[in-house]
A and B are shown apart, each in its own frame.
Chain A
Amino acid sequence: NAGVMQNPRHLVRRRGQEARLRCSPMKGHSHVYWYRQLPEEGLKFMVYLQKENIIDESGMPKERFSAEFPKEGPSILRIQQVVRGDSAAYFCASSNSGADTEAFFGQGTRLTVV
């Protein structure tokens, strides 16, 4: 009965490289949310996806960031041409329905851009 799995747990990228963060939701969950957290700050919403659909990407930066949740496989958050300001913890959460239910979080991926 695995929970939400994120990998890698830690990721170091040089400026200009690409970062790919993976999230496998809990079994039976088809709704995925990505959040970003800076030290001493709260969780900032980035994107909400269902299988093969982006439902709400209002928190995603317009450039360099993209997300997908294919029919098969994990959800991917992709950051192209990373900059130092992208360094943060990125958390994924999943739920079994869109509304009226709690979301469960993974342990996060800590991205460091050097």
Chain B
Amino acid sequence: EDQVTQSPEALRLQEGESSSLNCSYTVSGLRGLFWYRQDPGKGPEFLFTLYSAGEEKEKERLKATLTKKESFLHITAPKPEDSATYLCAVQAVTSGTYKYIFGTGTRLKVLA
């Protein structure tokens, strides 16, 4: 069964304290891995797409990487405005459809 697991569930960082979020996956026929940010009461906001092992994407203080079994979202020198829930999703070819399968997210709190 296709599965996505994110860790840790929650993370508290001091402003400027870099860290990484993990997304491990078990899927057949990976078509893409996606990172989203979700603020309370809002819809997920797209951040990155990764397609193949070794690929990296960067945006401001965020950097996403991909291996054959997991992805990392590295946060460098975070600020309080980076506080949010970060969601990882995979798209796999399952029974001929292309649904996105989400992990349960990592709730990040950055303290000033």
B97 x A101 contact (CB < 8 A): no
Give bound CA distance, A41 to B38, whole Å: 12
Which stretch in B41-49, B59-67, B69-77 binds the other chain?
A: B41-49
Given the contacts A91-B44, A99-B93, A101-B32, A42 and B49 also touching, CB distance less than 8 Å: no
A42 x B98 contact (CB < 8 A): no
A105 x B34 contact (CB < 8 A): no
Distance from A35 Cβ to chain B, minimum over Cβ atoms (Å): 8
Determine which residue in B31, B93, B102 has the highest number of CB atoms from chain A within 10 A of its CB, and name it. Answer: B102
Instruction: Please pick, from B42, B45, B51, B104, the residue contacting A100 in the complex, using a CB distance under 8 A.
Output: B51
Distance from A107 Cβ to chain B, minimum over Cβ atoms (Å): 5
A43 x B93 contact (CB < 8 A): no
Contact count band on B? 20 to 34
B102 x A43 contact (CB < 8 A): yes
Instruction: Indicate if B78 sits at the interface (CB-CB under 8 A).
Output: no
Q: Which residues of B contact A42 (CB under 8 A)?
A: 87, 102-105
A43 x B97 contact (CB < 8 A): no
B97 x A55 contact (CB < 8 A): yes
Main secondary structure of the interface of B (DSSP, over half): strand
Q: Which residues of B contact A45 (CB under 8 A)?
A: 99-102
Give bound CA distance, A45 to B32, whole Å: 17
Instruction: Please pick, from A44, A59, A98, the residue contacting B98 in the complex, using a CB distance under 8 A.
Output: A98
Instruction: Please pick, from B34, B36, B43, B104, the residue contacting A107 in the complex, using a CB distance under 8 A.
Output: B43
Determine which residue in B31, B36, B44 has the highest number of CB atoms from chain A within 10 A of its CB, and name it. Answer: B44
Q: Which residues of A contact B91 (CB under 8 A)?
A: 99-100
Q: List 14 A-B contacts (CB under 8 A).
A: A31-B98, A42-B87, A43-B87, A43-B102, A45-B100, A45-B101, A48-B97, A56-B97, A91-B44, A93-B44, A102-B46, A103-B46, A105-B45, A107-B42
